[in-house]
Structure 1
Amino acid sequence: MIEFRSIPAEYKPTGVRKYDGNAYIEALPHLENTKDEILDRIEYYPPEFTDADRRRGELVRIAELARIGSFIYPFAEYRRAATNTTINIREAYLSRNPFKVEGQRRRNMIATLKDLNDENAFRALAFKSSALGQLIMAISGGGKTTLASGVLAPYCCVIEHTEYMGRPFRCRQIPVIPLAVMHDASLLSFCVQFFETIDRILGNTHYAREAKALRTIAQMTLLIHKVATAVSLGLIFIDDVQHLRAARGTQAEMVLNLLSQVLEIAGVSLLLSATPALEPVIAQSVRNIRKLTSGGTSKFPVMRRNDLQWIALATALWRYQIVKHPGPLTKEILDAWHKCSGGNPAFTSMAFALAQRQEIGERETVDELSFQRVAETDMILLKPAINALLSGRTADLLKFDDLIPKSGLMELQDQLGWARDEAESGESEPEFEELGEEKQTSASKPNSNAASKGKKKPTFSTKGRSGSKTNPTKGGVMLPFVKPTF
């Protein structure tokens, strides 16, 4: 879990000429020199088990298996996606330089904008956004969220600006925030989640309270642009975008339209994470998807038995044996292990931990029989999904999410002591209708309590380390900016 912390701005040249003189970019964390440096930062190998660990009690050793859940292997596919993300955060600020006339003018115009549907207001902005959208697509357990969390960890902070090159510059900058599309794909829950996330990071309740007082979706989306500008937001990581396929009516299109506007008007880059289940939604909204993938698209393929990356993952995990009689990794074990997991990184790790759990206090060794037993017992509920992986058929993989019983995954993760997403068990949000603008039916009346029921997916913790609370309006901002009010 990554904590957002408040840090003073330290301006360092990036070596990129177009970034020179941009306080937002120069205050960001260090820009790596190579793609591999980013991978080195993402990977994590927990301490390996020792002989002393293997002599400990059975229940103690079973509890220690949770250590495997923190293992992060740096797959080669991560390199391009991680590089795109690192660059896209900076590109978002390129056209929003607070010390250029265009940047100041744009900031003022967004703060005083009254209606996003006003074409004249759009023309008046005369602003070309440099923000970029990026999509990472892989099956559940393919490493999408793991990658994003690792790449974005250094950017989970609030940067305190006070002075830049001898000029007064008072503002607070949030480089990145995490969000998730909930299971019902409600636009209301997504919008409220945005404001509550910003408030938690800054330690206040100002923006969520103001948003919940609004009566139309147009006002709420307009406020998103104003708040994103007020906190100098750089990038939004949005997980589980495939849930848009469950949206009712035009909700999916409305959410995608909002994301496109965030790119074009607020100038905030986006990092979207989805499973192949998003493809039907993509087919219906080509225009929006084109914008939302302007900064790159990455697909993490399913790993076959002879895939060198899967073998490398299995070999690295094999070092974490806490059974009393650890043995060598053989071809037979690899065959059984892949058949049990389908080559899915999450299932591969889970199968290994469950195999050891079964063998502790029994045979005290892991072999091909161990994985065969796990496949027919602990992971039996995942068998349809694993068969889909093993088949390699596109049609089966597109249905992969539907084949995974969520309750079964939760139970396995809880047994192993591994963290899981709260969003999996969250209640559905009611739909949000335009009050006074759209015809309402008994099935679509807005719920006054809807805004308070949404649950956020805790990709990152938003508890500050310093314990101090920050407020984006406290102390003023030495930039043309009007506090958003309605």
Structure 2
Amino acid sequence: MNEWNDQFIREEAVYKKQEVLDFQGNPLIEALPPILSPEEAYDGLCYFPEYDENEQKLPTHIRYHTIPRITKFFQPVMQHLDLEQRFSRLLRYGYVSRNPNSSVYIRSLADGHKQLNGQTVKHDIRSTASSFTLMGFSGIGKTTAVERVLSLYPNLIVHKHPYNLTQVVWLKLNCPHDGSLKTLCIDFFQKMDQLLSTNYYEKYGSRRNSISSMVIRMGQIARLHCVGALIIDEIQHLLTSKDKNSEKMMNFFVTLVNEIGVPVVMIGTMRAKAVLQQDFRQARRGSGQGDMVWQQMKKDADWDLLIENMWSYQWNAIKTELTEEINETLYDESQGIVDIAIKLFALAQGRAIETGTEKITPALIRKVAKDDLKLIQPMIEALRNGHLSELEKFEDIMPLEISEYLQHYQSRIDLKATIQKKKEQQAAKRQKIEKTKLEKLILALINVGIEADTAERISTKVIKKAPDQTESLLLIQALQLLEDEKKEKPKINKREKNALKLIIDKGKKGKLSNYESLELNGYIKNPINEFVI
């Protein structure tokens, strides 16, 4: 399992014997990593981030920082193994006609130098390079998969004597948002400078230079450093270009493949089809290794493998077992779009932490999809209903970054905690005020001759009824309550009065006095029995 490393890798050339006749004696191919079997490719493409179950016990606010780690998770499936094999063939065959040991390679460098001096050259070198296109829905994992395949190869291979050259195995660029060929050339110079510590951008990247001049320089640099493959992502941006920029760029890619011998991989959404099929020549050159069109995953063994391995990355306090219902729900709400499935899983964990349930359920997954992925619901619905023609409307609609959503969840929890804290502070403050009022009111009543117990009872009753009243009004109300209580006379209700009459009448029949009858029925206590020890 290779590390997901953003830093470029530089290696010294170690030449390996080749079994394929076309590859033998070519140092550019012999220095590449060995051709991988499907099993070796699977192991190399896998990326399972580190995970410790003890992280489930971490405090809530810290666990939020662990969840985005799942975005690095990569589970290869059949289409990824197919991609790896195609790129492996494309890269190696692109070097067949560019062997530093051959006179043809030396002549191509000389021809490039003549072009820089404005001389016309006749290209009689048959290029072995080809190209292919990878198209698919947004979020299907095209870019991630390509980057995983590229991670199997070093960026640079240094060849010492007698070659004395630095081989750039691959270079990945994003198609400029405006489809400008000049911007692409500038990006190329800057990326090469980062890799090689050169100053190509300073020499050739000035906007004063013409496009044709930049293109010739770019081609010569690609020859000089034996660029193995050029990967152009977001090719659908050519649809927004003006002044026939898309046609110029497509012609430039054809020139790279045919004349310079650099294979080109073009990646884009389904909208890129409109660019790639503008004319037969570009469509044919783009299919050298066969076009790859990735749609959503099917609910099959590949999907189950992906979800089962992803499911182990849980940071909720209660670990949820993966059920077929949860699996079905994830598929239904993502419609087989891997990026959405992973984000749903991560966001569901964030919501479970926020609500305190700490458990993932199908209902929770649907709730998260409805609340947090509103923008992509039309796209999901189109996939669910099989209306693929509707998907072109939603090519650029993708979920926000997980970290943004989790930050939103955590902000809501922090806000709730803050509000609760404020409520508690206010309640404590109010209680303190009420306690102070109670003490002052009790003392005021005692000072006017009220018994302490009565003063406390009356004060508590008055403050409970009107806690926000001023102290002077509370005193008036307390005195008024005392006065009202004095005016009230004890009353015996009718039922109790009848009961006493019956007891006395019954006692008379038994020749008992009224006192004896009431004492016998517990209405009068015997002072000797009650108080004498």
Report the TM range for the smaller structure's normalisation. 0.7 to 0.9
Task: Please name the residue that 2:96 is paired with.
Answer: 94
**Any gaps of 5 or more consecutive residues in structure 2?**
408-533
Deviation for aligned residue 1:98? 1.2
CA change 1:3–1:14 in 2 (3 A) is farther
Q: What is the number of residues matched between the two proteins?
A: 402
Task: Please name the residue that 2:491 is paired with.
Answer: none
Alignment of 1:115-194 (within 5 A): 121=121, 124-163=122-161, 168-194=162-188
Indicate which of 293, 297, 305 corresponds to 2:291: 297
Indicate which of 353, 362, 365 corresponds to 1:360: 353
Query: Does structure 1 conserve the Cα–Cα contact (< 8 Å) formed by 2:352 and 2:358?
Result: yes
Alignment of 1:243-262 (within 5 A): 243-262=237-256
Which letter does structure 1 place at the counterpart of 2:9? Answer: R
Secondary structure of 2:395's counterpart equals helix
Deviation for aligned residue 1:411? 4.8
Indicate which of 201, 211, 221 corresponds to 2:195: 201
Aligned-residue CA RMSD (Å): 2.0
CA change 1:282–1:8 in 2 (3 A) is closer
Task: Please name the residue that 2:392 is paired with.
Answer: 398
Which letter does structure 2 place at the counterpart of 1:186? Answer: S
Deviation for aligned residue 1:334? 2.2
Matched, 1:227 2:236: no
Indicate which of 27, 38, 43 corresponds to 1:40: 43
Moved more, 295-304 or 245-254: 295-304
Secondary structure of 1:212's counterpart equals coil
Task: Please name the residue that 1:443 is paired with.
Answer: none
Distance 1:413 1:277 in 2: 28
Task: Please name the residue that 1:321 is paired with.
Answer: 314
Distance 1:310 1:158 in 2: 35
Q: Larger relative contact order (C-alpha < 8 A, sep ≥ 6)? A: 1
Deviation for aligned residue 1:253? 0.9
Secondary structure of 1:299's counterpart equals strand
Distance 1:413 1:267 in 2: 42
For normalisation by structure 1, the TM-score amounts to 0.78
Runs of 4 or more, structure 1, over 6 Å off, are none
Which letter does structure 2 place at the counterpart of 1:313? Answer: L
Matched, 1:311 2:309: no
Distance 1:324 1:413 in 2: 20
Deviation for aligned residue 1:9? 1.4
Deviation for aligned residue 1:7? 2.2
Task: Please name the residue that 1:113 is paired with.
Answer: 115
Q: Share of identical aligned residues, percent?
A: 27
Query: Does structure 2 conserve the Cα–Cα contact (< 8 Å) formed by 1:236 and 1:268?
Result: yes
Higher helix share: 2
Query: Does structure 2 conserve the Cα–Cα contact (< 8 Å) formed by 1:2 and 1:153?
Result: no
Deviation for aligned residue 1:219? 1.1
Secondary structure of 1:69's counterpart equals helix
Distance 1:400 1:286 in 2: 28
For normalisation by structure 2, the TM-score amounts to 0.72
Deviation for aligned residue 1:115? 8.2
Post-superposition Cα deviations, 1:22-49, rounded to whole Å, max 9, x if no partner, equal 11111112222x1231122111112344
Indicate which of 328, 332, 337 corresponds to 2:330: 337
Deviation for aligned residue 1:114? 4.5
Indicate which of 85, 88, 99 corresponds to 2:87: 85
Moved more, 79-88 or 279-288: 279-288
Deviation for aligned residue 1:413? 4.7
Distance 1:72 1:211 in 2: 37
Matched, 1:5 2:3: no
